[in-house]
Amino acid sequence: MYFTNISNVAIDIDGSGNLDLMKNLTARAKVSDALMNNAGFYQTIEIQDGERPDHLSKRLYNSEQYHWTFLLLNPQIKNIWDDWPMKQSQLVEYCTEKYQYLAGDTSDDLNNKFILGETVTGSISNATGKIKEIHVNMGYLVIEKTTGTFAVSGETISGVDSQDNVACNFIKSQAYAPHHHTDASTGEWVMRRAAGTLPYTYIDYESAITEQNRNIKVIKAEHITTIAAEFIAAMGV
pTM for the whole structure: 0.73
Note the pLDDT tens digit of each residue in 147-180. Answer: 999 999 999 999 999 999 999 999 999 999 999 9
Arithmetic mean of pLDDT over the chain:
85
Same domain, residue pair 197 and 222:
no
Same domain, residue pair 204 and 148:
yes
Same domain, residue pair 146 and 228:
no
Q: How far from each other are the two terminal CA atoms of the chain, in whole angstroms?
A: 12
DSSP, res 107: S
Same domain, residue pair 73 and 131:
no
pLDDT at 193 over 50: yes
Beta bridge partners of 168: 106
Same domain, residue pair 205 and 99:
yes
pLDDT at 9 over 50: no
Domain that holds residue 12: 3-85+213-234
Note the pLDDT tens digit of each residue in 130-145. Answer: 999 999 999 999 999 9
Spatial CB neighbours of 44, under 8 Å, sequence gap ≥ 6: 215, 216, 217, 218
Alpha carbon dihedral 40, 68, 225, 219, in 10-degree steps, equals -20
> Which range, 5-19, 25-39, 129-143, 211-225, has the best average confidence (pLDDT)?
129-143
CA-to-CA distance for 199 and 183, rounded, in angstroms? 9
What pLDDT is recorded for position 61?
A: 97
The whole-number average pLDDT for the span 219-236 is 82
Same domain, residue pair 128 and 193:
yes
pLDDT bucket at 1, cuts 50 / 70 / 90: very low
Q: How many domains does the chain divide into?
A: 2
Same domain, residue pair 182 and 228:
no
Same domain, residue pair 126 and 163:
yes
* Cβ 85 vs Cβ 214: under 8 Å: yes
What pLDDT is recorded for position 123?
A: 97
Same domain, residue pair 145 and 219:
no
Same domain, residue pair 184 and 102:
yes
Same domain, residue pair 103 and 173:
yes
Same domain, residue pair 42 and 67:
yes
